[in-house]
Each structure stands twice: as structure tokens, then as C-alpha cells.
Amino acid sequence: MAEEFVPPSTAADTKDCSGATTGTKRTDLKFISYSTTGDTDYPEDACSRLVHGNAQIDNFTVNQNLTVSGTINGTTTGNKLVANFDIPHVKEKGKRIRHIIAEGPEPGVYIRGRLKDTNIIPLPDYWDGLVDKESITVTLTQIGYSQDLIVEENIEWGKTIYVKSGNGANINCYYEVWAARWLNPMNHDEKLHVVYEGETPDDYPGGNENFLVGGWDYDRRETQWREVDKKD
């Protein structure tokens, strides 16, 4: 049976419509009830009807689609790590796969692939203006035989990477190219503060407008491993 709507009151004969409603918190997953009281049968002596401009809930489950107009701000607590993905195992029924997204002191982006009988690595067009071209690094893994691979300097750095073989061998290798994305493509002076003074992410210098902060309680999980805690 659904809970009865109980408006708070300061006295038995005094109606108070300014406070919060009361009720027993339910923890089972049930659909939200739909009020059927209309304009014609709404009690005249009842508090004016209200709609939720803001709301709070402990757990929220979406069975199908979630549509958002605005900003999603999220944090994790307790032993939860930062971003991860969790998907069904592609071959073994009843198993799942979970990976943690790599962390680092920069917003790194990458491409990877294979070169065979060519010496040109074309970089994505969208990298122009998105990444700091001076941060580009290239890793080459030769396949099958020694090739003495070298990355050439060129005037198209940031758009195209040229590779050559120091011993004249045909190029056959894997490549991985990393670069640091600008935190703010409109303001290249904005840098990431890796370590900063503060008690919570709200203390981050420069503001959190360009960040979705996860792992607020990262530093509360096992603080005994930190040297600073061992000295206290």
C-alpha cells in the first residue's frame, strides 16, 4: 500500500505548508507513483499543490533511456575508483569484464596502428587545435627484423609523422602516438594543477568548470599507506 501524504503541521489544528513532508524511506525498487488528483476534486482546505523543482534520492535506477538537458555533476565515495567500464564477457556467458581507465597528470589522447611499406603516419584532422603539438610522442615497435626506426623532424609536425629506417630496411612496425589535449582550446595558458592545497575538489585553483570530478574520497580509503599519515 502506498504511503499517505502527510503535510507537516505545528499543531493539531494549524496547517503548515512550508516544511518538508514525512514518511518511511523505502529501499525496494518500485516505480514512482502518479498522482491522479485533479483540479476539480482537489480538497479546498488542503495545502496548495507543489511540484519538484529539486529532489533528492539515495539510489536511482534507469531501465531504458535517460535524457538530460543541462550538466551532470558526479562524485564517487568510499572504496569506489574513478572512471571504469563494465561490459558482459564477449565469449563466456555469466561473466563480465571491468577495466579501469588509465590515469595521468595530463589529458592524454592517442592513436595507434601499423605501418607496412609506407613511412607516413597521418594524424587526425581534429587534432589541429585540440592538442599541444609540442607534447606529441611516438613509439615504434619493429616487426620481424631490425629496421633502426627513426622519427624524422618535419614542417608538418602535428599533422603528419614521417618514419625512416636507418639501415634502409622496408618499414614494418606498429606505432602509438600520444599527445596532451589542451584543457581549454580557447585558452592555452590554462594548465592542470596536479597537486594543490585543499581539503576537497572544490578547493581546486581555477575552478572545476572543465572537469567531471570522480573519486572524491580517493584519499580516505586507506590513508595509512601515506608517509605523511605515518608520521602523525
Per-residue pLDDT tens over the stretch 47-102: 777 777 777 777 777 777 777 776 565 554 444 444 677 778 888 888 888 887 77
Say whether pTM exceeds 0.75. no
Cα distance between residue 111 and residue 98, in whole Å: 22
pLDDT per position as a tens digit, 42-58: 777 777 777 777 777 77
Distance CA 138, CA 177 (A): 5
CA dist., res. 137 & res. 164, Å (int): 16
Q: From CA 25, how far away is CA 97, in angstroms rounded? A: 34
CB proximity list for 39: less than 8 A, separation 6 or greater: none
Check residue 216 and report its DSSP letter. Answer: T
> What does the alpha-carbon distance between residue 128 and residue 111 come to, in Å, rounded to a whole number?
14
The helix (run of H) or strand (run of E) holding residue 8 is: none
Q: Report the pLDDT value the prediction gives residue 109, as an integer from 0 to 100.
A: 92
